[in-house]
Amino acid sequence: MSTLTSRRMLLGRIAAAAVLATALAACGSAPTPAAPGGAAGGDGKLVMGFSQVGAESGWRTANTKSVQESAAAAGVELKFSDAQQKQENQIKAIRSYIQQKVDIIAFSPVVETGWDAVLQEAKRANIPVILTDRAVDSPDTSLYKTFLGSDFVVEGTKAGEWLVAQYQGAAAAPVAVVELQGTTGAAPAIDRKEGFAKAIAANPSISVVASQTGDFTRSGGKQVMEAFLKSQPKIDVVYAHNDDMALGAIEAIEAAGKVPGKDIKIISVDAVKDGMTALSQGKINFIVECNPLLGPQLMDLAKKVHAGEQVPARVLTEETTFDQSQATAALPERKY
């Protein structure tokens, strides 16, 4: 038997086993009628335990609203908790959802690593898990059913490509970039850094001269930018991993007597209303969109997973980019 044939047979067996496992899981997790003592889902509604990262940014606020509104619209009973950007709080919340025997757990992991133990507990309890917005870094992909969210490497790449295009054909004078990173260890911070670095490698005159975390918050962005303005002899560009940090950086730049968007160019990610307003005013130069309105897709996936249907392992969201005039045109319709 050729290697190819045996590999195909193996894959076929795996697929058959997966279908069977899904069917069995579906039997095991069908909504249970109200048990004496009030088990979750007693009224027949699908019960979702959702552990949110926190309320660190405009993006996060819009994401929370989307999840809550979509749950209500889809008839899903949502148990929601805010982890205030702390992994230990998310682990506690997930454990409590397991104890409450919810039908499904969804969460947006604040950092990528350190989830295996608690996700194994969920698996042993037969409670499916959906990752939303941020990924986990684990070799065991059986710990979750699907991952819904953006491709953060692509976002970083778009930011870097825009910058490269700005200096195309210009004299090879050095371009000094300072980077405001998201939360250390978070998927969007790791991936946005990586995508940007790869893209700017196309022009050796552009380099990141300083890079530090601002924790995805406005105050973090402001503080780090103040320090950069003191320590760096020349800053041409700020690359902020989200709008909130860019808005904090604008405050620091203005306080230092410089003009954001002119003396120092600013690129960020998210495209929330406040960021788009600053872009429209010329204080930010370019924003890569990251869509926070994941609620409807999340509820849809949750229902499918609960019904034992196959769902794709990765569900990507569609996103665009904005320059100043595009931001001005898009602002009146902007929902978040």
Q: Which of 74, 267, 269, 294 binds ligand GYE (CB under 6 A)?
A: 269
- The closest alpha carbon to 284, from 232, 244, 315, 256, belongs to 244
Residue 332 has what DSSP assignment? G
| Exposed e or buried b per residue across 240-254, where buried means at least 16 C-beta atoms within 10 angstroms of its C-beta | bbbbbbbbbbbbbbe
Q: Which of 103, 133, 161, 191 binds ligand GYE (CB under 6 A)?
A: 133
Confirm or reject binding of residue 213 to ligand GYE (CB under 6 A). no
Q: Which of 41, 46, 56, 97 binds ligand GYE (CB under 6 A)?
A: 56
Q: Which of 105, 115, 134, 157 binds ligand GYE (CB under 6 A)?
A: 134
Ranges within 274-293 binding ligand GYE (CB under 6 A): 290
- The closest alpha carbon to 58, from 237, 238, 278, 301, belongs to 278
Token code pair at residue 174: 């050095």
Confirm or reject binding of residue 228 to ligand GYE (CB under 6 A). no
**Shortest distance, CB of residue 216 to ligand GYE, whole angstroms?**
4
**Shortest distance, CB of residue 6 to ligand GYE, whole angstroms?**
41
Segment contacting ligand GYE by CB under 6 A, of 52-60, 114-122, 313-321, 326-334: 52-60
Task: Give the whole-angstrom CA distance, residue 254 versus residue 213.
Answer: 21
Task: Give the whole-angstrom CA distance, residue 313 versus residue 305.
Answer: 11
Confirm or reject binding of residue 223 to ligand GYE (CB under 6 A). no
Confirm or reject binding of residue 59 to ligand GYE (CB under 6 A). yes
Task: Give the whole-angstrom CA distance, residue 248 versus residue 273.
Answer: 15
Q: Which is nearer to ligand GYE, 47 or 180 (CB)?
A: 180
Confirm or reject binding of residue 188 to ligand GYE (CB under 6 A). yes
Q: Helices in 75-179 by DSSP H: which ranges? A: 87-99, 116-124, 152-166
Token code pair at residue 62: 């819009």
Q: Contact residues for ligand GYE (CB under 6 A)?
A: 56-57, 59-60, 133-134, 188, 216, 242, 244, 269-270, 290
